[in-house]
Each structure stands twice: as structure tokens, then as C-alpha cells.
Structure 1
Amino acid sequence: MPTHEARLRAVARRTLPPPIAERWISMIRPAVRLRSAGRGDRVVGRLGGCPAVPHDFEWPVWPGEGSLSFVASVDCAKLPRESIDPALPADGTLLFFYFDDTLGYFDPAFPPRTVGVWAPESLTAGARVVHVPAGVPVTEREPPADIEPYDWIPLAAAHRLTGPDWSHPGFRAACRDLPAGVLSFFDDRANGDAFMGALAATVPSPAHQIGGYAFPVQDAVELGVAAAHLRADLVRDEQAWPAVQEEARRWVALAQIDSDDETGMMWGDVGRLHWLIRPAELAAGRFDAASFTWQCT
């Protein structure tokens, strides 16, 4: 059976012109796949349930909207170090929170939500990443009364490789110097559909992941975060596109949490949650500067 890297190389060479395929292959990066832990697996974190937090932890809230839901946690020290790109802290636990605006739609006991997570202010207010340093005493905390915890499952980690998606700004930039005749391949969306369809066959389901390249449901998640940070409307203002592309290249994928039947997590229509961060802020441990977006079909 071919290795995962061999499968990725085969996808590129089968669906992309040779010069573009080789640029894409040169960009392959490792990632940590998160999956439901079975008997005997080393548990590295959890999806859902209640987070283990310090006694003075303040539950993340979107002012005027409500409490954020706890989505996942990972123990950085237990992740396979050879798979972590970009580099995470060597230890401590990362907690991921998200404002689930579907909560309460069908239950009058919950207050109504007024702003969707796709609003620009949701980039920081509607999602949060918290790093709890190693050695800090923690206990499990029940969520506030306005939300319910998701069902929980333990997570195991595995090494995998990832490549950029069709619209990834770094991939496009890496191909800039190729001849115009080669670059015209990007002008036909059908070519992108064929490539992404073949690439999707290499992506595990559910696609929970730390680091590497995100696998978007639509266009590159970096573009969405960049456009929101610049308050750019790419539909109405085509002149904003270069600035958005440049800003998008400053962001890297931190975590991706897929819809998951085991936990009852359903992000829109089988969508995915994505947390991103700039490398300098990641290196400085400034997880409060992480940004967020989500996509669904």
C-alpha cells in the first residue's frame, strides 16, 4: 500500500500540470490528526464535555451574546512532536472555545442569539483559544447555564501530511513565476474541483487536526480571516484582493474541528471550525490573538 506522502504526490501529479504539481509537492507539511481514542491508545485530549481549568478561570463570553461552548482540548506534551507544524508550546493544554449560535434555536429555555459567528467581530469575540500552562492545578468546570456541554470523547493523535488547497494564498504565491500558459490552469474552476476532489479522498473523516494545512469546505480559510480583519468586501471591491492575499499569507492553521456524530457537533451543514494564528504571536504564546472562521456546504 502506498504511503500517505506517495498518495499526495500522486494526486498532485494526476490533477495538476507538472510545474504546478512540483511546487505543490514542495509545500507538503506535517500535521497531527486527532481521532476518537480506542482501547490502548494514548489519550492526548478530548472533544466536548467539560474543560479542566484553573480555579480562577473566567469562562469565555461574547459580551451581549452569551457564553462560548467548549469544543476541544489537547495536551501539547503528548502530541507527536515530528507532526507539529507550526510549533506549539512544548507542554500545557490548549482549550478551544466557540460561540455556537445554533444553541437555543429550538429550545425556549435558552436566550436567542442575535449575531452569527460569521460577523467580523466574531474573529476574537466569538471564539477563543486558551493555553493552560503545565503544573497549574485544574479541575473540570461545568459550563454556564446558558449553554450545554457537547457529548465527549477521548482523543488520540496520529501523524499525517497535508498540502495547501486550491486557493491557498501561499500556493498561489509559490507559482507566481511560472509561465503564463501554465498559470492559466488556475483560471478554470473545474480544474480546482478535480484537484480538490482527489485531495479530499486522502483526508480522514472526521477531519480533526492540529497544525498543517486546513482542508476547507469552500475557499482557503486564510482568505476569510484576512478579509474579515481588513474589513474587505471581496464581492464588491475587487481592488481589495491583493491586500487580502498578502494578509492571508500571514496566518497559519492552528486547529480544525470537523462536525462529529459521536459528540453531536454539527457546524452548519456538515461544516468545520478553524482557528488560525500568526506565527509571531504563536511563538510568543499570544493565543488571545488567534482568529477564527468556519465553513459549511
Structure 2
Amino acid sequence: MLFSAMGLLLYVYDRLRQKRRSRTPAISGETIRLKARLRRLVRPTLLLVPAKEPGFSKIGGSPELPAGQTWPVGYEGRSFLAQIDLETLAPHAVIDWLPKEGRFYAFYDSERHGFADVVRILHSVEPAGPPVAAPAGVRPFFAERRVAFMVFTSAPSLDWLGLDVAYLDLDEDEFEQLEAIGDAPPPDELQHRIGGYPNEIQPEAMSLSCEHLARGLPDPIWGEDIPPAIARAAKEWRLLLQIDSDPALKMNFGDGGRLYVFIRERHARAGNFSKTVALWQTY
């Protein structure tokens, strides 16, 4: 078979295109629908990273509480977890359900795992004060890191959507495509975060878990029919704070687990941080 120079180039190009097309896996209709659904639900998220110029926001250390604000105590005493200046979030990302002023402080009680208040949040619009030492008997003490914020986007996991991956007819490549939606760091990297969606370690429909905990109900059973009222109410939960196990800060939740603090959107908009719900997962 004889070719001109141009004909040979066209022939080679066509063969390469066919070969590339033959290696491209087919995408199922189910994957296309899920990708479209996930893209509609993408939200901004802020990664808490070491600050170059230290400000108020930090993880660990001692809380800089306003005058008259006392350190909350629990069954065995609450350890200080983090403090965030809400005014500094606005320039970084539009998390429009958070107040634009004030600060919140997170405290953790290692004896309250399984209860809604394993993490307790205090919110104040009063000026911050000097660091407040922990009350006697409160432990553990976490090392301090001042933090800044790095903007990413985050998409919900199939678990967050209440979909059991065992019953989805998707191959490995299709799952990877779904996981690639959003530009947040991989879930196996260290992540302290505000907003967006949680990085689940174990399969769990966390929004439903939050609603059950808030109502004092047993944990939801995977695959069980959810009453419509609970399903509707569960959609209002937002991730306020995610804190990772962090060896540099002497933080370890279970076996390298994470804490997740959620708040109803209407409560956050009203500046009411007294009704948060916290979950935790470990490996």
C-alpha cells in the first residue's frame, strides 16, 4: 500500500485516534447522572493550614476567651480544640451561612464519644482576651498551631447522599471519576477544614446521623426507609468544623480518626452555636 507524505500522516493520525478511543472506557448512564448531581452540590471548603503571619485562628493551645466567658466543662472536663475568627473567612470563600462577625471556640470531651456534644462550640462577638489556662483536671493538652485558610471546593461523597456503593453498578474507573469532582485534597491527607462536606473514613450517611442524634434517636440503619420528615430535616446540616488526628499537635482520635462538627444552617445564620452535633470516625 502506497501513501503520499500527507496521506501517511492522516493514516497514522486516524489509527492513533481509533486506538485511543478503544482504550477509553464507556461511561454508564448511572455515572453520568451521578456526576451531574454531584456537580450541582459542590460547595466551597476552607483547609486550615499553618499561618505565615499568625492571627487569632488556631488549633490547640489555650483559648483566648473574651472577658467573663468561662471554660466549659464536661464529665471529665473539656480540652480546647480550636478557635476561628469568622471575620477572616469572608475574603477567602463564600460560606454564606456563617455569621460575618465574632469568633467561635471548639472544646472536646474524650468521654462523650457517641453523644451529640462530644465537641461543644462557644460563639462570641466580644473582643478576645488573653489565653485562658485549662481548669484543673482537664486533659489532654494539645500543642498549638496558628492557621490560615486555603480555598478548595468539595463535593459530597456517595455515603453523604445515602447511596450504598455495594448496590451501584459502577466499575473502578467510574468511581474514580466521581471521587475527582471537587478539588479538595485527597481524603487520606491531613485535613482540618471548615465548610463543604466531610471526609468520611467509614461509610455513613452523616446528615442522617446528625438528625438522629439531635432528636435522641438510635443511629439510622443503612438501607432502612427513612421517614420523610427526618430526610427533609437532615438536608439542613452543614459541616462547621472537621478536625483530623494530627501527631504534630498531639491529637489522636481513636486510631487516627477525625472529629466532625455539624450545625443546622438556620442556627448558624442566627449565630446560635448551642445546638451543634458532633460525630467521630476512626480506622
Aligned to 1:19: 33
Matched residues in 2 for 1:45 and 1:186: separation?
41
1:64-107, CA deviations, whole angstroms, 9 ceiling, x for partnerless residues? x1211110111111224452424322222111111123xxxxxx
Q: Look up the SS of the partner of 1:247 in the other structure.
A: helix
Larger Rg: 2
- Paired with 1:242 and 1:42, the residues of 2 have a C-alpha distance of 46
SS in 1 for 2:274: helix
| 2:258 aligned partner | 272
Alignment partner, residue 168 of structure 2: 188
1:229 to 205, 214, 223: 214
What is the aligned residue count? 250
C-alpha displacement of 1:145: 1.3
Aligned to 2:48: 34
* CA distance, structure 2, for counterparts of residue 84 and residue 255 of structure 1: 16
Match in the other structure for 1:209: 193
Give 3-state SS (helix, strand or coil) of 2:138's partner.
Answer: coil
1:74 equivalent in structure 2 = 84
SS of residue in 2 equivalent to 1:77: helix
Task: Call closer, same or farther: CA 1:201–1:131 in 2, change over 3 Å.
Answer: closer
Determine whether 1:117 maps to 2:113. yes
SS of 2:249's equivalent in the other structure is: coil
- RMSD across aligned positions (CA): 3.1
Closer/same/farther in 2, CA of residues 152 and 242 from structure 1, 3 Å limit = same
1:168-226 CA-to-partner distances (Å, cap 9, x unmatched) read 24x86xxxxxxxxxxx9772397699458767863473111111112111223222212
Name the CA distance, whole Å, in 2 between partners of 1:58 and 1:283. Answer: 24
Aligned residue type for 1:94:
F
Q: Once the 2 structures are TM-superposed, how far is the Cα of residue 227 of structure 1 from its aligned partner?
A: 2.3
- Following TM superposition, by how much is the alpha carbon of 1:252 offset from its aligned partner in structure 2, in angstroms? 1.0
Cα gap change, 1:36/1:56 in structure 2, threshold over 3 Å: closer, same or farther?
A: same
Seen in structure 2, the aligned counterparts of structure 1 residues 233 and 156 have a Cα distance that, compared at 3 Å, is closer
State the percentage of identical aligned residues: 25
Task: Note the alpha carbon deviations across 1:37-70, whole angstroms, 9 max, x for none.
Answer: 2xx44645111010001232122122xx121111
TM-score after normalising by structure 1: 0.73
Q: What are the superposed Cα offsets for residues 16-39 of structure 1, whole Å, 9 maximum, x if unpaired?
A: 7112111111211111110122xx
Distance 2:31 2:223 in 1: 31
What is the match of residue 133 of structure 2?
A: 142
For residues 61 and 253 of structure 1, what CA distance do their matches in structure 2 show?
23
In structure 1, distance between residues paired with 2:99 and 2:252: 29
Contact 1:70 1:98 survives alignment (8 Å): yes
The residue that corresponds to 1:95 in the other structure is 105
